Structure 1
Amino acid sequence: MSAATAPVPTPAPARARPSSAGGHLPGVARLALVRAGVELRQFWRERDAVVFVFAYPIVMLAIFSTVFGAEDQGTDVAQIGYAQYFLPGMVATGVMLTSFQQLAVSIAVERDDGTLRRLRATPLPASGYVGGKVLLTLATAVAQTALLLAVAALAFDVPMPSDAADWVTFAWVFVLGTATGTVCGVAFSSLPRSGRSASAVVTPVVLVLQFISGVFFAFFALPSWMQTVASVFPLKWIAQGMRSVFLPEEMAALETSGSWQLPATAGVLVAWLIVGLVVGVRTFRWRRRDDG
Structure 2
Amino acid sequence: MNPTLHAARLGFARGWMEFKHQVTSAQDIGFVVITTAAFVVVLYFQRDATLPGTDLSLAAATLPGLLGLMIPINALMGAVGTLAVEREDGTLLRAKALPQGMVGYLVGKVVVLSISTLASLVVLLVAGLFLVPELAGTGVGGWLTIAWITVLGLLSALPLGAVIGAVAGSPQAAGGLVMLTVGGLTAISGVFYPITALAGWLQGLAHVFPLYWLGLGMRSALLPDSAAAAEIGGSWRPVETTLVLAAWAVAGLVLAPPILRRMARRESGSLMEQRRHRAMQRIG
TM-score normalised to structure 1 length: 0.82
The 3 A distance-change label for structure 1 pair 278 and 143 is same
The 3 A distance-change label for structure 1 pair 61 and 111 is same
What is the CA-CA distance between 1:131 and the residue it aligns to?
1.0
Matched pairs, number: 268
What is the CA-CA distance between 1:258 and the residue it aligns to?
1.1
Match of 1:129 among 105, 108, 111: 105
In the alignment, structure 1 residue 92 sits paired with structure 2 residue 71: no
Q: Which residue of 1 aligns with 2:23?
A: 44
Q: Which residue of 2 aligns with 1:229?
A: 205
* Mapped partners of 1:136, 1:192: distance in 2: 21
* Mapped partners of 1:188, 1:172: distance in 2: 25
Q: CA RMSD in A?
A: 2.6
Give the counterpart letter for 1:32 in structure 2: G
Highest Rg: 1 or 2? 1
Q: Which residue of 2 aligns with 1:29?
A: 8
**What is the CA deviation profile of residues 205-230 of structure 1, one whole-angstrom value per residue up to 9, with x for unaligned ones?**
11111222223434343333322211
In the alignment, structure 1 residue 55 sits paired with structure 2 residue 34: yes
Q: Which residue of 2 aligns with 1:166?
A: 142
Q: Of Structure 1 and Structure 2, which has the larger fraction of its residues in helix?
A: 2
Spell out the pairing of 1:100-249 with structure 2 (5 A cutoff).
Answer: 100-249=76-225
Instruction: Check whether the contact 1:53–1:97 (CA below 8 A) recurs between aligned residues.
Output: no
**What is the CA deviation profile of residues 245-267 of structure 1, one whole-angstrom value per residue up to 9, with x for unaligned ones?**
11000111111121001110110
* Mapped partners of 1:45, 1:69: distance in 2: 32
Instruction: Check whether the contact 1:57–1:90 (CA below 8 A) recurs between aligned residues.
Output: no
| Identity value in percent | 30
**What is the CA deviation profile of residues 141-189 of structure 1, one whole-angstrom value per residue up to 9, with x for unaligned ones?**
2211111011122134342343211122111111111121111111221
Q: Which residue of 2 aligns with 1:72?
A: 50
* Mapped partners of 2:36, 2:19: distance in 1: 21
What is the CA-CA distance between 1:25 and the residue it aligns to?
8.3
Match of 1:72, SS? Answer: coil
TM-score normalised to structure 2 length: 0.84
Structure 1: which 5+ runs fail to align? 1-18
What is the CA-CA distance between 1:51 and the residue it aligns to?
3.0
